Structure 1
Amino acid sequence: MSSVSRPTTAEAGAANGPGSAGAGRPSPSLRARGLSVGAYPRYVTGKLAGAAVSLLAVLVTSFFLFRMIPGDPVKFMTGRRPVSAEQIAVYRREFGLDLPLWQQFTDYCGKALTGDLGTSYQFRAPVVDKITEALPNTLLLTGTAFVLYTALGVFLGTRSAWRHGGLGDRLHTGLALTLYSIPSFWLGLLLIIVLSVGVDPIPGLFPTGGMESGREEGFAHVVDVAHHLVLPVVTLVAVEYGQTLLVTRSALLDEMGGDYLTTARAKGLRDDLVRRRHAVPNALLPTVTLVFVNLGRTVAGVILVETVFSWPGLGGLFYQALSVPDLPLVQGLFFVFAAAVILMNTLADLLYPLFDPRVGR
């Protein structure tokens, strides 16, 4: 066997020093992944520019879209009581509704770029404060569900693909398709009827809604919140895990015919090791995409589920704002929801070359 000579430390330093012929060469880690130092920054710049354009489009859309909603915010603010034209004019002037539409738009964009999303009509508080107040509750609910349905979907998806055609595969795939096609609000209502209200012989085991009873403190409060958390989390996991399972299963089935798996088996590797070390990592790219999309949706929450279970998060706040309509709050929430998805998609794009170097070229 021929040996490969290695450069001395001095030679390596000279080759990588400034002004040398080797300056600016790809680092070993980048070369190992097949990435080009020149190509990847261009790839990153393009993705970041696309994200910025998307955020600008969302900002414009959020302003004009919700002004098509029927309803007069002034009537809500006056409690639908008969008021004089002078009082209506005062309300419109207070919230800038008397200004021309183009001026309202420019004011909105200018403030939004500085982090000011306006003042809520119904709460008379900054929109940013209302979002900050509700965000932890949404992250608790949808974050817990996200971890559970992602882990469950990946685990069952790999098992189903590796033993495709078997009884377990058919059962898991059929159940995933069934649950994924069920509307989340309908499943939530069904769980409330069966497990909260109770249907003989099943007693009511869980609260019908809300986040806490309001009478507990310390560790008892944690247990109380977890008790309220069970049904909405079960609803989200049941509806969402099927998508991850099906994507993971499909991606792994595409990889199973690869020659490298046959080679790995020929070397004497156990079937479980072939799956975990070779097949699954190469099938993760579509699943990674889905995980990041779902992670962006975690910030948005699930509007219908939060509404059904009276969960005090961003989704319930959005539904409440739509009923007015509370234009600044609706616009601010819509922008936050869309921005979370755009940013997570962009992050997924930036990480793709780590899984498949061909993407960044």
Structure 2
Amino acid sequence: MLNFILQRSAQAVVVLLLMSVLVFVAVYAIGNPVDILINPQADQTMRDETIARYGLDKSVAQQYLLFLKNALAGDFGTSFVYDSPALGLIFSCLPATLELALVAMLLSICIGVPLGLYAGYRPDGWSAKLIMGGTVLGFSVPAFWMGLMLILVFAVQLGWLPSGGRGETVAWLGAEWSVLTLDGWRHLLLPASSLALFRLALIVRLVRAGVREAIMADYVKFARAKGVSPLRVMLRHVLPNIMVPLVTVLGLELGTMIAFAVVTETIFSWPGTGKLVIDSIRTLDQPVVVAYLLLVVFMFIVINMVVDILYSMLDPRIRLGGRK
């Protein structure tokens, strides 16, 4: 296990270095922030001072080497717009995105796994066909349209839930969390439901396919022949054997929700990292964009490592970092 973690850590360093080059060059090639930072009516002296202050007078290679040197010390640059550390800005918005993604994933798992088990165990029933038809809807409906429909029905028509914002928050571990208050949950349910729809459909189909494959195995037939109840068969024999592919998808989808919840956060005015990055792209706030993309790369590396470790815990036949 230790050998595996060391190998993956070394790979992570190489991946981060390569991605930092690609991200830095790509982001710094999309436009010149000077056109936004400096008033068009400013004189040349003021323009030169501003360009020199942000280091934009250097070549891209020199800017990257300076960025890499500072990043190794934990400094990912200062935001052009907010005049504060880029990483600090991202971390200040990260709790909102984390709780939104985690609640959405929790909804997807708690609803999708039972529905997938049922649809896989009784595939010919009308309710199972209705469930699978609903997954087609989940895959087909765009996230922005679903968000607008949820607002129209539950916020405008029924008035049960607020249409946007984060609601009341409570400070914990140095960050503000809305999941710790009742008002925060009222604000969280609509965006989390909108974000969970696609993942819910994905989990239902994945679990159903796994159940249809596992239920034909000899160990399941033997358990049913012994008179084991269907619920016990599903929970003790079928579900553990479909967890490996399920954990893979859940891990990647959680990372995707954290990294790219931009549409949902924009529709529901949720103050997360997605909204921050969209605003930064509009204003060409390059340090914030670069820091965010590198943080996303690092997050996916960590998630993949955790998923691989969970493999060995779920299936003892899997060995990490060793030979067969």
State the alpha-carbon separation in 2 of the partners of residues 172 and 195 from structure 1: 23
Q: CA deviation at 1:146?
A: 1.5
Q: Percent identity?
A: 31
1:351 corresponds to 2:310: yes
1:310 corresponds to 2:278: no
State the alpha-carbon separation in 2 of the partners of residues 301 and 143 from structure 1: 13
Matching of residues 1-361 of structure 1 within 5 Å: 42-70=3-31, 72-78=32-38, 80-196=39-155, 198=156, 202-212=157-167, 222-300=181-259, 302-360=261-319, 361=324
Q: Given residue 251 of structure 2, which amino acid in structure 1 is its aligned partner?
A: F
State the alpha-carbon separation in 2 of the partners of residues 324 and 181 from structure 1: 32
State the alpha-carbon separation in 2 of the partners of residues 82 and 46 from structure 1: 55
State the alpha-carbon separation in 2 of the partners of residues 356 and 203 from structure 1: 47
Q: Is the 8 A contact 2:55 2:63 kept in 1?
A: yes
Query: Secondary structure of 2:252's match?
Result: helix
Give the match for residue 19 of structure 1. none
Q: Is the 8 A contact 2:101 2:254 kept in 1?
A: no
Q: CA deviation at 1:85?
A: 1.9
State the alpha-carbon separation in 2 of the partners of residues 224 and 261 from structure 1: 46
Q: Is the 8 A contact 1:297 1:340 kept in 2?
A: no
Distance 1:251 1:68, change over 3 A: farther
Once structures 1 and 2 are overlaid, which stretch shifts more, 89-98 or 106-115? 106-115
Q: Is the 8 A contact 2:116 2:205 kept in 1?
A: yes
State the alpha-carbon separation in 2 of the partners of residues 205 and 160 from structure 1: 31
Distance 1:146 1:286, change over 3 A: same
Q: Is the 8 A contact 1:138 1:301 kept in 2?
A: no
Q: Is the 8 A contact 1:296 1:343 kept in 2?
A: no
State the alpha-carbon separation in 1 of the partners of residues 79 and 55 from structure 2: 12
Distance 1:213 1:287, change over 3 A: closer
Q: Given residue 77 of structure 1, which amino acid in structure 2 is its aligned partner?
A: L
Q: Is the 8 A contact 1:212 1:225 kept in 2?
A: yes
In the TM superposition, what whole-angstrom CA distance separates every residue of 1:37-83 from its partner, at most 9, and x where no partner exists?
A: xxx5554444333333322232222211212324x3123223x4421
State the alpha-carbon separation in 2 of the partners of residues 205 and 309 from structure 1: 15
Runs of 4+ in 1 over 6 A off after TM superposition: none
Count of residues in correspondence between the two structures? 311
Once structures 1 and 2 are overlaid, which stretch shifts more, 294-303 or 263-272? 294-303
Q: CA deviation at 1:330?
A: 0.5
Query: Secondary structure of 1:317's match?
Result: helix
Larger Rg: 1
Q: Is the 8 A contact 2:215 2:221 kept in 1?
A: no
Q: Given residue 61 of structure 1, which amino acid in structure 2 is its aligned partner?
A: L
Q: Given residue 196 of structure 2, which amino acid in structure 1 is its aligned partner?
A: V
State the alpha-carbon separation in 2 of the partners of residues 293 and 251 from structure 1: 18
Q: CA deviation at 1:315?
A: 0.8
State the alpha-carbon separation in 1 of the partners of residues 147 and 56 from structure 2: 38
Once structures 1 and 2 are overlaid, which stretch shifts more, 233-242 or 312-321? 233-242
Q: Given residue 119 of structure 1, which amino acid in structure 2 is its aligned partner?
A: T
Give the match for residue 174 of structure 2. none
State the alpha-carbon separation in 1 of the partners of residues 140 and 297 from structure 2: 24
Q: CA deviation at 1:161?
A: 0.9
Q: Is the 8 A contact 2:163 2:268 kept in 1?
A: yes
Q: Is the 8 A contact 1:44 1:350 kept in 2?
A: no
Q: Is the 8 A contact 2:86 2:287 kept in 1?
A: yes
Q: Is the 8 A contact 2:132 2:205 kept in 1?
A: yes
Structure 1 residue ranges without an equivalent (≥5):
1-39
Q: CA deviation at 1:169?
A: 1.7
Q: CA deviation at 1:297?
A: 3.2
State the alpha-carbon separation in 2 of the partners of residues 169 and 68 from structure 1: 51
Q: Is the 8 A contact 1:48 1:346 kept in 2?
A: no
In the TM superposition, what whole-angstrom CA distance separates every residue of 1:4-24 from its partner, at most 9, and x where no partner exists?
A: xxxxxxxxxxxxxxxxxxxxx
Give the match for residue 172 of structure 2. none
Distance 1:166 1:187, change over 3 A: same
In the TM superposition, what whole-angstrom CA distance separates every residue of 1:247-284 from its partner, at most 9, and x where no partner exists?
A: 12212222111111111122221121111101110111
